[in-house]
Amino acid sequence: MIVDSENDIKYLKAIGHICAMTLKTMMEHAKPGMTTLELDNIGMEFLQKEGATSAPMAMYQFPGATCISVSPVIAHGIPNDHVLREGELINIDVSAELDGYFGDTGASMVIAKHVPEYEKLLAAARSALEKAVSVAVAGQPLNLIGRTIQEDARGNGYGVIFDLTGHGIGHKLHEEPTEVFNYYKSKDRRILEEGVVLAIEPFLTAGRGHVHEEEDGWSLRTIDRMIAAQFEHTIIVTKDKPIILTI
């Protein structure tokens, strides 16, 4: 989507804020002893209270309002009867629609405990997202985002998951550009347009950087079962600093 009015910005900010607050609420409530389904219900209730619709449920018939992935699963984890344990590494991904506009955000966290190995990875993934957002400026190559993520990840001792990408968003959950790579792809000649709406989501790992689809047909785990983390923002690209919608 290319933003072409203040009205677009208004509605994108509204759904972005709802997604961000849903994620924040879920992270605050995540604790040992609860199931991922119970955590998902908290997210669903918040979305419904705000009048928003779960995007994965509405668009893809996903069996959950949000995606909750328990390591080594890093994406598209189905909320179920898994009981969260202290020290577990999880990822929560929230995407939703309101008034025909979509937002998408996500974050990884450790349940009720500080685990130095995990905290180091989380800090690196947050850093990669912050730096990637900062270079998303109109007129710059789109592959600068991937180069920035990959270089920052390497500098912190990690690699990226090559199979998972960011994407365009706006009036649909997934729009052009359909792939915002998390690594440098020299043949990608696309240029960032002013007003384009992107979901930028670095996936960092200590392993080989590929995923395997589980038997449930949704959950994506690291192929080597190594730890991974993801953080995500939806932004509007401008000639200056991007507008971060999921804040």
Which ranges of the chain does DSSP label H, i.e. alpha helix? 6-29, 36-49, 55-60, 116-134, 143-155
CB atoms within 10 A of CB 90: 23
* Distance from C-alpha of 54 to C-alpha of 47, rounded to nearest angstrom: 7
C-alpha angle 234-189-185 in degrees, rounded to nearest 5: 75
Exposure on the CB side of residue 138, measured as CA atoms within 13 A: 15
pTM over 0.75: yes
* Distance from C-alpha of 16 to C-alpha of 153, rounded to nearest angstrom: 26
Domain definitions of the chain by residue range? 6-244
* Distance from C-alpha of 43 to C-alpha of 37, rounded to nearest angstrom: 10
pLDDT of residue 245: 98
pLDDT of residue 141: 98
Specify the amino acid at residue 146: G
pLDDT of residue 204: 98
Residue with tokens 């605050």, as numbered in its chain: 28
Residue with tokens 């002893």, as numbered in its chain: 33
* Distance from C-alpha of 31 to C-alpha of 174, rounded to nearest angstrom: 31
Q: Which residues contact 130 (CB under 8 A, 6 or more apart)?
A: none
* Distance from C-alpha of 35 to C-alpha of 83, rounded to nearest angstrom: 4
User: If we measure between CA atoms, which residue out of 228, 88, 242 comes closest to residue 163?
Assistant: 228
pLDDT of residue 25: 98
* Distance from C-alpha of 143 to C-alpha of 200, rounded to nearest angstrom: 12
**Structure-token pair, residue 162:** 């090559």
DSSP 85: -
| Domain with residues 6-244, CATH architecture | Alpha-Beta Complex (3.90)
Ranges of residues in the chain with a pLDDT under 50 are none
- State in Å, rounded, how far the first CA of the chain is from the last one: 20
pLDDT of residue 51: 98
Polymer length of the chain = 247
